[in-house]
A and B are shown apart, each in its own frame.
Chain A
Amino acid sequence: MTLGPIGFAAPWLLVALALLPILWILLRAVPPAPVRRRFPGVALMLGLKDEDSVTDRTPWWLLLLRMLAVAAVIVGLAGPVLNPRDASEARETGPLLVVLDASWASARDWPEKRDLLDAMLAEAGRDGRAVALMRLTDPEAPVFQAAETWRSRLAAASPAAWAPSEAQMEDATAVLGAEGFETRWLSDGLARAGRANLLEALEARGPVTVFESAAPIFALTPARIEDGTLALTVQRAQPGAAREVTILAHGRDPSGTPRVLSSATHTFAQGEVQGEVALPLPAELRARITRFEIAGQSHAGAVTLSDDSLKRREVALIAGRDDREGLELLSPLHYLERALAPAADILDGALTDILPASPNVIVLADVGTLSGAEQAALLDWAEAGGTLLRFAGPRLAASDVSRSEEDALMPVRLRVGGRTVGGAMSWGAPKSLAPFAEDSPFAGLAIPDDVTVNSQVMAQPDPTLADRVIAQLTDGTPLVTRKRIGQGQVVLFHVTANAEWSSLPLSGLFVQMLERLAISSAATLPDAEDLIGTTWQPVQVLDGFGSLQDGGTLPGVAGEALVADALGPDLRPGLYDGPDRRIARNVVGAEDVLEPVTWPARVPVEGLARPAEAPLGGWLLAAALLFLTADILASLALSGRLIPARAAALFAALMLIAPDAQARAAAEQSQAALSSEVTLAHVLTGDARVDDTARAGLLGLGQTLFFRTTVEPAPPVGVDLERDELAFYPLLYWPITPDQPTPSAEAYVRLNQYLRSGGMILFDTRDADIAAFGASSPNGAKLQRLAAPLDIPPLERVPQDHVLTRTFYLLQDFPGRHAGRPVWVESAPADAEQIEGMPFRNLNDGVSPVVIGGNDWGAAWAVDARGNPMFPVGRGFAGERQRELAYRFGVNLVMHVLTGNYKSDQVHVPALLDRLGQ
């Protein structure tokens, strides 16, 4: 039975609603029960009348409340369901093919699509239909299986970051097979080639229904630079109503945190499908941008990655001489500035000032000798990926740099003096450039005839010279040489950067050569021919939802395919790393235009939304409970027994105010108490006897500390590693039992955090009387297992001069209840040496994070409530002496934890006294 959108599972129960009027009459006659009171003064009251005689009966609103409660119970039990599935629909029994576009444009509505698919599959499962799923982005022959099989795989299905290509559509058409089936097509709403053919093929095999979301799809084309500002094109598939979209530029801020660096909005006018957005950004910010995104559109088409084409490289120009003020054309940097200014940001300044800014390129024009510090800093910078570009000149020629042996920052050794050809005093004619070799980065550049070289510095012939020449003169002498340094390189032009030695800086070739050296960035995407033979490695790839995934596991892509092929499983949209630069392949290319698909009129198109079945019974029963609660309060109020305090208590009980809020408050309070005092803690092992002993031991140690030192610890605390915060405790005493539970992974994370932040754990295997250190005893083996995930440094036996031996008492032995097992601490650094005249080495700077032993210190320290020792130690006076030493060890340990290596600083005492003049 259905009433509007509500159906009932047990409609006959609604008959009970007819009883409500009877109930009304019954309830109405029964006023609330009175209280009987003994009262002698009643004699005076005889004959008094109540002022309000209406309250004699239950007030109508209370009746209504009760009626509502009863009605809610009846209706709730009748099992109402909102939007019940219409069971009267004709049941299909044939096989069902669900075709998914599964493209990036599907990603935005993917949750809805998945829900719809789930509902479809559930329905098909109930009807016993065989189902096949076909993803057009990855077409495979349909395999008809039970719907539940598909349903279990549904959670893992995700849309691809590309759109099905025409070839894939054809593949899909080809593999359909001959049997007939019903088709449901979950379309992404974008027109693309091959759709019509596929639709025809599907219709030939059975009825086709299309499911499509009506929401508009937005896409972003790659960013480009126009007139120095970033420009982006926003598209939408359907020309709809006016709509505003926000474009966000993501990148890392100077501290390396990913954040939105800039944003811009574009308002689509009515019917407009394309819009331009400009993002005026300083070059510094622009270089940081990694991707642009349309806010709120979680699909790959709304994301466009930026690559090197947006980055302007920073070039620092440094000249060896600045003494020719005013003669601009003769300045060694003039031509470089002119060549680089359009495509790069130029930095000026001293070398040491510029290096921290980490420019991409540093140009040293005729700089000879570099100071040692500059040389080292430059070398570091170059090894980290910088390009050092050097030009020769009179100073370099006159210096001894790279003369007898190759300078680290020079690609070749230089011969003394250099040479001059074609001058007034020489016989030869000026030399021109030889064509560039195939493996040279300049390969393919045309050489103008008028480029001549008059002077140059000459390279010493070396075995490596041939590999390093990337341009040479017609006579074979090197003009440009290059050497790799780490990830960076150093390039030497054997001529000056001005027109003094050659006419190269005057020519267009100079600019092209700088571009090829990636000194000025190329703003255009290289052609496929340029990239033949190169392999590009994906760095980050986009998934269908527009989020970036690590691409390191994907195979490399050939250069020509990278720029020419359509996106697909083999070429995913993302950022690709190749020689010298990075190229981004975006989902929507610069020329792509989004168009909505137009389905033929014969194909029924449905929306994604399917009203879900919603059982309402629970809500109605809950409402009935609320009504009844209100009825209790109202009845109490009517009979005058609703005292405000009781009502408040009742409300508090009803609201079930989270009891853990109080617990949390108490925990915070105790944490405040813990952090205000030194608190020793022991790890709860689960063995009550061991835990009690540990607690009593720390109590005894605490009393000893209290009496003898300024450390006045609070009562010890047992720590549950799974639940308690460890940061408050300077020392954790961890007695080992063979059967204690191993902490969880989270607990280990916190333990490691505790150890790294200066905490100390004293491990006690408590078995020194029967076992030596190692895995020979059950406790030792357990300790090994417990401590394996801990971040514990290399250990050694406590050396004679460890600070633990003298933080408070001078000790050489650390007995507990047992004496004899050595104690292990973090080992001293390998380079710790004993200095002559010093009593001990300058060892670890810091506290040993663990102290491991088996002497059962807890039992030796343990005292009962009256302060008497709980366990005997040794025999007679020697035993008491041993207990005393155990206490001394505890004092030393706590002192070590609290003061670190303070006592080690005594090694400096002679130096300090010396400095004081004594």
Chain B
Amino acid sequence: MSDAALTLRVSGLRASAEAEAARFPALLARADQLAGTVLLGEHGRRRAGMGDDFWQYRPVQQGDSRRMIDWRRSARSDVQYVREREWQIAQSVMLWVDGAASMRFASEPGLPEKADRARLLALAASILLLRGGERVGLTGSALPPRRGRVQVERLAALFSQDGAEDYGAPEARGMLPHSRAMFVSDFLGDFEPVRAALTKAADRGVRGVLLQILDPAEEAFPFRGRAIFESVGGTLAHETLKASDLRDKYLERLAARKAELAQICATTGWQVQTHRTNASPQSALLWLHGAISGGRVT
């Protein structure tokens, strides 16, 4: 019964993600880091190297083996040529989508939960990346980066699993050096794991984007009167007699958290963006597209 429900959820998530992804051209991630990830992909590096596509003929230089000479071209002239192919590379993009309880929150019935929006955006971006020939996977060891349509289904299946913990911490293990990464979370929990993950990623030459997904209520704090605030998982609680007085302080802390995110991103070369669940997901996807495809949107 639960398997059936899960299947239904997976297919629903995938359908809506496909719908989102269909609106964009194929995303070709820029691969400006060559070293490390040498597996061939469809990205021409605009230099000679290993690949399938013809790049140029050049005269034989010293050190070229005889086997490399293109006899057909050389026969038309007196000089011997070597046929070079364009060096192609496939980028790996590592995803981490926060599935913790804090993401399963929507302040109003009409709004999607943060987790829904996060999965939708992550999967849409994955589809774009996969369509562009990139390799997409999850950080950690659950799903290494792979290519192809099948990977979409695997991603969707893994996204649909809810985490048990109250606040999620980014998984920084298993990141391929010089790959790209995308972390989607609300970043409301403890900040130290985030800082550690980003520092570790930066150490490995991984660059990427942080997408902070927030509910409108989390940015507006429209509460008054006496209240006990509880985290979704129930592990944290805070009681106040006058919630309206708390608003300014809360907003201050939220702004401080955003500033921290911006600061750590500036340090590590990552990009950060905040997305509210009442905003259109397309704008966030557009930003993701831009940010991953070449850092043109900064």
- Please give, as numbers and ranges, the residues of chain A lying within 8 Å of B188 by CB-CB distance: 40-41, 43-44
Of the candidates B103, B167, B238, B241, which one forms a contact with A55 in the assembled complex, judged by CB atoms under 8 Å apart? B241
Query: B36 interface residue, CB < 8 Å from A?
Result: no
Known interface pairs A38-B105, A40-B102, A40-B186. Does A46 touch B232 (Cβ–Cβ under 8 Å)? no
Interfacial chain A residues near B114, Cβ < 8 Å: 40
Complex: how many Å from CA A37 to CA B243? 11
Name the interface residues of A25-57: CB closer than 8 Å to any CB of B.
Answer: 31-46, 48, 50-53, 55-56
B229 close to A (CB within 8 Å): yes
Instruction: List the A side residues contacting B218 at CB < 8 Å.
Output: 39-41
Q: Using A48-B246, A640-B224 as known contacts, say yes or no to A39 and B230 having CB atoms under 8 A apart.
A: yes
**B257→A37 contact, CB < 8 A:** no
Name A45's closest neighbour in chain B (CB-CB).
B238
Q: Which one of B225, B230, B238 contacts A38 once the chains associate, using CB atoms below 8 Å?
A: B230
The answer to whether B227 touches A37, judged by C-beta atoms less than 8 angstroms apart, is yes
| A 539-572 binary contact with B (CB < 8 Å = 1; else 0) | 0000000000000000000000000000000000
Could you mark each residue 54-71 of chain A with 1 if its beta carbon is under 8 Å from any beta carbon of chain B, else 0? 011000000000000000
Q: What is the CA–CA distance of A56 and B226 in the complex, to the nearest angstrom?
A: 10
B residues within 8 A CB of A36?
A: 227-228, 230
A639 CB-CB contact with B under 8 Å: yes
* A785 interfacial contact with B, CB 8 Å: no
Question: Is the pair A45, B229 in contact by a Cβ cutoff of 8 Å?
Answer: yes
Residue B193 at the chain A interface, CB threshold 8 Å: no
Given contacts A38-B105, A52-B241, A52-B245, contact A43 B231 (CB under 8 A): yes
Give residues 105-149 of B contacting A (CB, 8 Å). Answer: 105, 114
B232 contacts across to A, CB distance below 8 A: 38, 40
Query: Which of B45-53, B157-165, B174-182, B247-255 is the contact stretch?
Result: B247-255
A881 at the interface (CB under 8 A from B): no
CA distance A43 to B244 in the complex (A): 17
Contact of A51 among B105, B221, B245 (CB under 8 A): B245
Residues in A whose Cβ lies below 8 Å from that of B242: 50-52, 55, 640
Chain B minimum-CB-distance residue to A52: B242
What's the minimum C-beta distance from B247 to chain A, rounded to whole angstroms?
10
The answer to whether the Cβ of A641 comes within 8 Å of any Cβ in the partner chain is yes
* Cα(A36)–Cα(B188), bound, Å: 20
Asked if A44 and B237 make an inter-chain contact with CB atoms under 8 angstroms apart, the answer reads no
| A36-B228, A639-B225 known; A43 vs B241 contact (CB < 8 Å) | no
Determine if B228 and A34 form an interchain contact, defined as CB atoms under 8 angstroms apart. Answer: yes
Answer yes or no: B217 CB below 8 A from chain A CBs: yes
Known: A46-B238, A50-B245, A640-B244. Is A41-B221 also a contact (CB below 8 A)? yes
In the assembled complex, which residues on chain B have CB atoms less than 8 Å from the CB atom of A39?
105, 217-218, 223, 229-231
Q: List which A626-677 residues lie within 8 A (CB) of chain B.
A: 638-641
Q: How far is the CA of A708 from the CA of B211 in the complex (A)?
A: 76
Chain B residues near A32 (CB-CB < 8 A): 226
Task: Give the chain B neighbours of A34 by CB distance below 8 A.
Answer: 226-228, 239, 241
**B75 touches A (CB below 8 Å):** no
Q: How far is the CA of A42 from the CA of B250 in the complex (A)?
A: 9
Least CB separation from A42: chain B residue: B229
Docked complex Cα distance between A473 and B257 (Å): 137
A50 in contact with B227 given A41-B218, A41-B254 (CB within 8 Å): no
Q: Is the CB of B227 within 8 A of A35?
A: yes
Residues B167 and A43 in contact, CB atoms below 8 Å apart: yes
Least distance between B60 CB and chain A CB atoms (Å): 65
A37→B246 contact, CB < 8 A: no
CB of B240 closer than 8 Å to a CB of A: yes
Q: Which residue of B lies closest to A54 (CB)?
A: B241
Chain B residues with CB below 8 A from A42, complex form? 229-231, 236-238
In A690-743, the 8 Å CB interface with B consists of none
CB of B230 within 8 A of CB of A37, answer yes
- Chain A residues near B231: list those with CB within 8 A: 38-40, 42-43
CB distance from B250 to the nearest CB of A (A): 6
Min Cβ gap B39→A in Å is: 39
Say if the beta carbon of B84 comes within 8 Å of chain A: no
Kindly identify, within residues 292 to 307 of chain A, every residue whose CB is under 8 Å from any CB belonging to chain B: none
Q: How far is the CA of A36 from the CA of B236 in the complex (A)?
A: 12
- Report A73 CB to chain B, min CB distance, Å: 28
Q: Is B59 an interface residue (CB 8 A)?
A: no
C-alpha spacing A31/B250, complex, angstroms: 24
B contact residues around A55 at 8 Å (CB): 241-242
Residues of B within 8 A of A41 (CB): 188, 217-218, 221, 229, 250, 254
Check B241 against A37 for contact (C-beta < 8 Å).
Answer: no
Q: Which of B103, B223, B254 contacts A44 (CB 8 A)?
A: B254
Looking at the assembled complex, report how far the CB atom of B256 sits from the nearest CB atom of chain A, in whole angstroms.
Answer: 9
From the candidates A37, A52, A640, name the one contacting B229 in the complex (CB within 8 A). Answer: A37
**Residues of chain B lying within 8 A (CB to CB) of residue A641:** 224-225
Which chain B residues (163-205) contact chain A, with CB distance < 8 Å? 167, 186, 188-190
Q: B230 to chain A: which residues have CB within 8 Å?
A: 36-39, 42
Most buried by B among A46, A52, A53: A46
Q: Give the one of A31, A43, A50, A641 with max B CB within 10 A.
A: A43
When the two chains form their complex, are residues B246 and A50 in contact, meaning their CB atoms are under 8 A apart? yes
In the assembled complex, B20 has its CB within 8 A of some CB on chain A? no
Residues of B near A45 (CB, < 8 A) are 229, 238, 240, 246, 249-250, 253
Residues of the B chain whose Cβ atoms lie less than 8 Å from the Cβ of A56: 241
Minimal beta-carbon separation of B164 from chain A (angstroms) = 15
* Chain A contacts for B105, CB-based, 8 A: 38-40
From residue 248 to 273 of chain B, which have CB atoms closer than 8 A to chain A? 249-250, 253-254, 257
Contact B253 A35 (CB under 8 A): no
Give chain B residues whose Cβ lies under 8 Å from the Cβ of A51: 242, 245
A46 and B236: CB pair below 8 A? yes
Residues of B within 8 A of A37 (CB): 223, 227-230
Measured CA separation A911–B237 after assembly (Å): 104
Contact A48 B225 (CB under 8 A): no
B228 touches A35 (CB 8 A): yes
Which residues of chain B from 57 to 95 have any CB-CB distance to chain A below 8 Å in the complex? none
Closest to A46 in B: B238
Nearest CB in chain B to that of A43: its residue: B188
Minimum C-beta distance from B65 to chain A (A): 62
A52 to B102, CA, bound (A): 29
CA of A833 to CA of B239, assembled, Å: 102
| Minimum Cβ distance to chain B for residue A639 (Å) | 5
Q: Smallest CB–CB gap between B115 and chain A, Å?
A: 11
Q: How far is the CA of A640 from the CA of B226 in the complex (A)?
A: 7
B225 nearest in chain A by CB position: A640
By beta carbon, the residue of chain B nearest A40 is B102
Report A136-189 residues with CB < 8 Å from chain B CB.
none
A645 to chain B, nearest CB (A): 14
Q: How far is the CA of A571 from the CA of B167 in the complex (A)?
A: 108
Cα separation A56 to B240 with both chains bound (whole Å) = 9
User: Closest Cβ of chain B: how far from A442's Cβ, in Å?
Assistant: 104
B215 and A40 within 8 A (CB):
yes
| Beta-carbon nearest neighbor of A56 in chain B | B241
Whole-angstrom CA separation of A45 from B250 in the bound complex: 6
> Are B238 and A639 in contact, with the CB atoms below 8 A?
no
Q: How many Å from the CB of B49 to the closest CB on chain A? A: 48
Interface set of A (CB-CB < 8 Å, partner B) = 31-46, 48, 50-53, 55-56, 638-641
Known A-B contacts: A40-B186, A42-B229, A48-B246. Give 17 more (CB < 8 A): A33-B226, A35-B225, A38-B230, A40-B103, A40-B114, A40-B232, A43-B231, A44-B250, A45-B238, A45-B249, A48-B240, A50-B241, A50-B242, A52-B241, A638-B225, A640-B225, A640-B242
What are 17 A-to-B residue pairs whose CB atoms are below 8 Å? A32-B226, A35-B228, A36-B228, A39-B218, A40-B102, A40-B105, A40-B186, A40-B232, A42-B231, A42-B236, A43-B231, A44-B250, A48-B246, A50-B241, A50-B242, A53-B241, A55-B242
Interface residues of B (CB under 8 A from A): 102-103, 105, 114, 167, 186, 188-190, 215, 217-218, 221, 223-232, 236-246, 249-250, 253-254, 257
9 closest A-B pairs by beta carbon, nearest first, are: A640-B225, A640-B224, A40-B102, A42-B229, A34-B226, A44-B253, A39-B229, A35-B227, A41-B218
